[in-house]
Structure formats: C-alpha cells, structure tokens
Structure 1
Amino acid sequence: MHMDPVLPTMVGTIFLVLMVGGLLKFMGQPQIIAYLLAGVLIGPHGLALISDADLVHRLGALGVVLLLFFVGMEVVPEKLRERWRIPVIGTVLQVVFSFLPVAAIGLMYDWSWARIALLTFVICLSSSAVVIRLLQDRNELSTGFGQDMLGVLLVQDLLVVPMLIIIGLFGGQQVDMHSLSLQLIGVVLMGGLLVWIFSGRQMKLPFGEHIRKDHEIQVFTALAICFGLALLTGFLELSTALGAFIAGMLVSAARETQWVHHKLEPFRVVFVALFFLAVGMSVDLDFVIKHWWQVSLVVIAVFVVGTVVNGLILRGLGYQWRESFYGGTVLAQIGEFSFVLAAVGLQAAIITDTGYQLALSVISLSLLLGPIWINLGRASFRPVIDDA
C-alpha cells in the first residue's frame, strides 16, 4: 500500500510539539516556546525533517491572519477611543528614542544613514503574535493595560508602510507610483472603516438569521469575512494581517456573531502553531554558533534597551513604575514584520548577506526568547493589572 511521504513528517512534528509542549507546560512556560523550539529542531538547520520551509512560512502567514482576526473581535472601541494617547504618542517616542542609540553606534562604526534608519525600524516593531497570545493566556487583553499594548501594536503595524517607503528611498529605489496610489487608497478605505467602527454603530450581517442556523455555513462565512478583507488589504499592498484585524472588529460590531469565535478556534490554533514553527525553522544554527558572541550581545541589547526605553515612555505617560517596566518587557522583543524590513534592506543593498543573516538570527531568537523575557518581567515587577 502506498503511503504519502508527508505523513511520517507530519506525525513526527505533531509528537515533537506534544513532547516539547508538555515539558514546557510542566515548567510553567507558554505553548509558543514549544512551537518555536520544535521549529528549530525539525527545520533545515536542525534534524531537517521538513525541507520545504517556504510552504510552512506560507501556512504560518495564514496563522497570523487568523490570530489578528480573533484579536480584532476582542477590541473594545470605547477603550481605544479613550486611550489613544499612549498608543500614538508612545509609539512615536519609541521610534525617536530607539533611533538615538542606533545612531550613536552607527556613527561609531561609520554606518550609512540608510543602515541606521533600517535597524531603527527593525527594532521598533514588537511582535503582535507573541504579545497578543500571552496577554490572551493571562486574561489581560481586555484590561486597560492590554488595550494600550494592543493600541501600540496597531500603530506600529500602520507604520510599516511608511517605513518600507523610506527604506526604498534610502536604497536609491524609485517610489512606484502605482503601488503608492494603491496604498493611499487602502489607507483611506481602512481608515474610513475604523472611523465607522469607532463611531459606535452596530452592523447587521446580511442573512444573519439564516447563517446562525447553519453550522457549516457559519464556518465558511467567518473564513470569508476574515480572508476576504485580508485579501483586499493585500491587493491594496497593505498588510493582510491589518485587513484581518479590521475584519474582526467588523464582526464584533455586527449582531448575532457569537458563533464566529467558536467555529474558527481550531483553525487559529493550528495555523498560529505553524507560524511559530516557521519562525523556529528560519533560525540558522550554524550561523548562530559561528557568530554566537555578536548575536548574543545584540539580543541582550535589544531586550535591555527595549525594556528601558518603553518602560520610561510608559512611565512618562502616566503608568506606575511596575506596570511601566512590565509593559517595557512586553514590547521589547522584535516583531515578525521586521523580517520583511530586513529583506527589503538586503534587496536595496543597505545591508550585506552577513548583516541579513545576523538580523534574521536576532529577530528569530528575540521571538524565541520573548515569552521568557516577558515572564521574567512579570515575575520581577509583579504589576497590578486592573480593568480600568
């Protein structure tokens, strides 16, 4: 009897995730770390159980879309309206104060301003996938603190488009007017949807009563809403995750949509796990071992500087010391969109192949160690998170 060669790999991967996940659960660590470590083990630089890393990356990208769709459903527009100050001002200050140490190092080593700008942008973006999942697991996402962190992540994601344009200009690339036009249309359209959602009006889905009575149609309706708007923002050359996030907010504003979360939860678990497996697979162990000293120093600097900078900003914006530095640890790791910025920097010849591999290693290890750093921060500062 013929057996699909993919089946042993799939079974081995699932059992590896179960074993690593069970061990880490016993140690009190989040499941995310299990996915990341399993990805390192099964990837091309580990046991090489999976050779088609591109396929896993694509499936993982779907996981991010579903994750942010669920996050959008949990957003409370009233809280974000009341708490715009910290996400907007805090993110702007984060970019400014991150630029200062990078510029100081860059001038010391005679870096170009293009490289300084690129590295500033890379370290400014926090991981929506890691932060949101951890806050959800701790039931902190619906609190005032969680809504502020969510707002910061949303503003960071919106800044990706101008960051990409700036990197392209620094690299001597001409701005594609067609792409820029599509992006401007997308910003206006998505901005209009956000304004409508934040106005407090409630939407009613067409044929909502009939959908509510048919369980199979519910699944495909929810997927159509999620991926449909993600496809639209992708066509407009914005982040597909941004479209999914706004789709979740639209569903949350609609009537009779309580079934969405229940129907899509299994999809979210599988695809989010694939995303973190893909991140783990991207870690080049040979490069990390060969350059362990440089990689370690940069990772430590990212966590320490990110925690201090974000903690001081949150303190200056009104948080207590404990919550401020806990927030600093939450935002300290580098986000998944930084992979995109690093790739564009390589294409624009702002960084070399070695610099690109260093960036990939630091970003991947930052995501891998991020949950541990956040747990250490929470244990050290013992913040009191309320629902305010």
Structure 2
Amino acid sequence: MEHVTNLSGLAYVVITALACGMVFAHFKQPPLVGYLLAGVLLGPTGFEVVKSEGLVTSFAEIGVLMLLFIIGMELSVRTLKYTWRLALPAVAMQTIASLMVMLIASFLLGISLSAAILLGFVVALSSTAVAVKLLEELGALRARVGRITIAVLIAQDLAFLPMLLIVENLGSNGFDLAAATQVLISGLLLFALVRLLLQQGRQHLPFYKIIIGHVDLSPLAGLVYCFGASAIMGAIGLSPAYGAFLAGLAIGNSAEREPLLAVVRPIQSVMLMIFFLSIGLLLDLNFVWENLGLVFLLFLIVTLFKSALNIFIFKLLGETWQRAFLSGVIISQLGEFSFLLAASAIAIAAITQEEAKLLISVTVLSLALSPFWLSTARRLQRIAERRLTTLKLVFDATFVGERLLAKRGARWARRSTTKTLIKARFIKNKMTEKFLDRHS
C-alpha cells in the first residue's frame, strides 16, 4: 500500500503541473509560470501534497543541469557575432549599473554584501521565455528590435555562468584567491570554446553516424554529453553546471544540433517542470501575505528601474527611440536564472531565509504578471510608434481601451438613467391622476 500511496502522490503532482501549465499556455503565457503555481498549491502553504522535498530537490538539481545544457544548445555564437558590438556592452552596462545600485542599497539599508551582489546579478538578467513570447505577440521577433533583443538575451546567458560561479563562492569563506582563479579559468574556457566554434564552423560530433537517427541512442547520447561534461568539470574543481552549459554550447554549434535538440528537449521539459515545481514549493504564501506591500513595492521598483536603464542603454548604443523603448520594456522583467542564483546562494548560506523568500516572491510575481506586462508593452509600443509629444496624447494612447469602455459605460448609464427617469415620471403622473380622481 505504501507504493500505491507514493504513486498517488506522484500522480497528483503531475496532474496539477499539467493543469496549471495548460491554463497558462491557453492564455499564451510560458507554462513555466504554471509549474510555479503548481508548486505553491502542492507545497507546505498549499495542500501539503509534497512533503518529501529532498527527492524533489535532487531532481531539481538534475533539471538545472538539463536547463543549462539546453540553453547552451540553443545559443548560436554566429548570431552574437553580428550583434556583439551592441549586446556585450549592453549586458556589461546592465550588470555594472545593477551592482552599483544594489551596493549603494546595501550601505543605506543594511543589506549584507553577499545579498547585494546576488541581487545585482538577479536584476541584471531577464526572462528569455517571457521576452520571446512578447516579441512573438507583437510580431517583432524577426525585426531589428527582435534581433537586438535576442542578442542581448544571448549575451546575458553567457554572462550568467560567471555570475553563478561568483555566487557559489559567496559563502562564509568569502571570495578568495581560489574562487577568483576558478572564475578566471571558467571564463578562459568559455572564451576559447566560442573562439574555436567561430573559427571551425559546424563540425561533426564523434560517432555521429551511429548515434544520429537512432531512436534509442540519440537521447542517451545527449544525456551522456550533458552529465559527462558536468562530471568532468566537477572532478577538476569547477562547477558541474558550467560543464553542462559548455557541452550544450559545443553541440548547439555542431552539425548535429537539430536532431539532438529534438530528442533531448522532451527530457529537459520534464526536468524543467520539476525544477520550477521545487521553486514553487519554496514560495511561502504566509510570508507573501505578511509582506504584501513590500513585495509589490520591490516588484514595481525593479520593473521601473530596469525599464529606464534598458531604454537608456539601447539609446546610448545608437538605437532609435522606438526600438530602444520597446526592447527596454520587453526585457525589464526578472528572469528564470534568478531561481538558479537564489538556489546556489541558499545552499551555501550566502543569504538568509528571509532574504531568499523575498527574492523568490518578487521573481514569481514578476513572471506571474507577464500577461499584464504583455498588454502594457503593446500600449507602450503604440506610444513609441506615434511619437507622442504631450502628456495628454500619451495618456490617451495608453488608456485608449479603458477610455472607450468608459464612454460605452457612460452612454449606457445615461440611457439607463433616462429610461428610469421617464418611467419614474410616468409613474408619478399616473399616481397624481389617481390622487386627483379620488379627491375630485
């Protein structure tokens, strides 16, 4: 009966995750947000279906490796080659500005240095899934604004790995010479691999004639590349996650990219569901409710800060106002990498549990409000395209839907009021006539 109970719990988890993912997919939003919601519903502050968090955490760690492996496979160094003059400076300025603001906040608000560095990295990164969805909905994915936005997201993905290595060394021992050496070696490996891929072009993988096209061997080979590179990196003292990313980057720029990506992606989707489910389990609804004002305030501050910073950076790098505005708005939400950085920081006690809860709450809110963000982006696009110059024109363009709805409501209210007054007057006249008849 114990096995039946375990299977029932697994069934509840999978069904809930699928249902929440389908709901968000129906509203044209990333299913990842649905998996977060499923974790909240199944977790300690929900229905308490999942009680063994250790097992979920173990699968989530595998999901992280698969996530970075797939991200590496989806990156094209050739795409970055043609836009690196914009993408690399943009990400560098985003990171430096975010770190400076958070370091100043650490002195003013008493935040620990480790937490300030972590928050600086978190604010600098954006959500690739949400940004791509916004570009698709706006029909701008293939336009210039889409290309520069994707290029910046690719550069952010590359910058995430050094960030992860730094965060992993923010524990009680601090960022010492050994940690700096680790980051330096990792950076040199990444630079050497990217340079090699640009020079050599798309090369074939070992044993590709045997592996590619084989139903059983292809997905297994993908897992071997992922976990094999992770194990090698871990054995030499580097981050296993970094090894998974480098392996994915090498395969993603090889001749076998498409067939391997097709067979590995379903496995990664399941592992990714488990990872975001585990993040949802960490979300404390009681904490969110008790600190609701602070969570919303931080969400608003981060969104406005990132929007203004991104627009300024794109405009500084030579983009037109319209493209700078739209690109800056689209990548102004927090990203999925926030959870990875937070998980690493929690594992080494670089941040407190309260700080981790606040970070997770703000990030979940940022992703969960993506439907409203899409609507806002469309309205802001209208403002950018029409080159509005006065505050009244901006207001009219932004709230055109609400103004139309308000006008319709006002017309309906006037008609209803007029009909009511006519009926009331008619009834009053009838009552007056009856009164006069009785007393005549």
Moved more, 357-366 or 28-37: 357-366
Amino acid at match of 1:317: L
2:77 touches 2:253 (CA, 8 Å); kept in 1? no
Amino acid at match of 2:191: G
Match of 1:79 in 2: 79
- For 1:382 and 1:188, the matched residues in 2 are separated by 40
The answer on 1:206 being equivalent to 2:210 is no
Amino acid at match of 2:349: Q
Match of 1:347 in 2: 349
Shift of 1:287: 1.1
Match of 2:378 in 1: 379
- For 1:99 and 1:213, the matched residues in 2 are separated by 47
Amino acid at match of 1:262: A
Report how many aligned residue pairs link the two structures.
376
Match of 1:288 in 2: 288
Distance change >3 Å, CA 75–CA 2, structure 1 → 2: closer
1:121 touches 1:163 (CA, 8 Å); kept in 2? no
Which of 159, 162, 170 is the equivalent residue of 2:163? 159
Post-superposition Cα deviations, 1:82-113, rounded to whole Å, max 9, x if no partner, equal 22223321122113322454455445445566
Shift of 1:242: 3.6
Q: Which runs of 5+ in 1 are unaligned?
A: none
1:95 touches 1:121 (CA, 8 Å); kept in 2? yes
2:288 touches 2:361 (CA, 8 Å); kept in 1? yes
Secondary structure at the aligned position of 1:4 is classed as helix
TM-score, normalized by length of structure 2? 0.73
- For 1:75 and 1:172, the matched residues in 2 are separated by 34
Post-superposition Cα deviations, 1:258-292, rounded to whole Å, max 9, x if no partner, equal 42122212202211111221121110111111111
Greater relative contact order (Cα < 8 A, sep 6+): 1
Secondary structure at the aligned position of 1:80 is classed as helix
Distance change >3 Å, CA 322–CA 246, structure 1 → 2: farther
| Alignment map for 1:202-281 (pairs within 5 Å) | 202-212=202-212, 214-236=214-236, 238-281=238-281
The answer on 1:297 being equivalent to 2:297 is yes
Post-superposition Cα deviations, 1:219-270, rounded to whole Å, max 9, x if no partner, equal 2111111222233334455554443333223223333454212221220221
Amino acid at match of 1:173: G
Match of 1:357 in 2: 357
Post-superposition Cα deviations, 1:52-80, rounded to whole Å, max 9, x if no partner, equal 22322332333333233333333332221
Distance change >3 Å, CA 373–CA 162, structure 1 → 2: farther
- For 1:225 and 1:374, the matched residues in 2 are separated by 37
Match of 1:196 in 2: 196
1:197 touches 1:249 (CA, 8 Å); kept in 2? no
- For 1:362 and 1:234, the matched residues in 2 are separated by 32
Shift of 1:139: 9.6
Secondary structure at the aligned position of 2:216 is classed as helix
Shift of 1:324: 2.9
- For 2:287 and 2:164, the matched residues in 1 are separated by 28
Shift of 1:7: 1.2
Match of 2:9 in 1: 9
Moved more, 11-20 or 372-381: 372-381
Q: CA RMSD in A?
A: 3.4
Amino acid at match of 1:339: A
Amino acid at match of 1:146: I
Distance change >3 Å, CA 129–CA 224, structure 1 → 2: farther
- For 1:140 and 1:234, the matched residues in 2 are separated by 37
1:326 touches 1:374 (CA, 8 Å); kept in 2? no
Distance change >3 Å, CA 72–CA 232, structure 1 → 2: same
- For 1:230 and 1:215, the matched residues in 2 are separated by 24
2:339 touches 2:360 (CA, 8 Å); kept in 1? no
- For 2:80 and 2:32, the matched residues in 1 are separated by 27
TM-score, normalized by length of structure 1? 0.82
Higher helix proportion (structure 1 or 2): 2
Amino acid at match of 1:155: A
Distance change >3 Å, CA 116–CA 338, structure 1 → 2: same
- For 1:242 and 1:132, the matched residues in 2 are separated by 24
- For 2:174 and 2:245, the matched residues in 1 are separated by 30
Shift of 1:213: 5.1
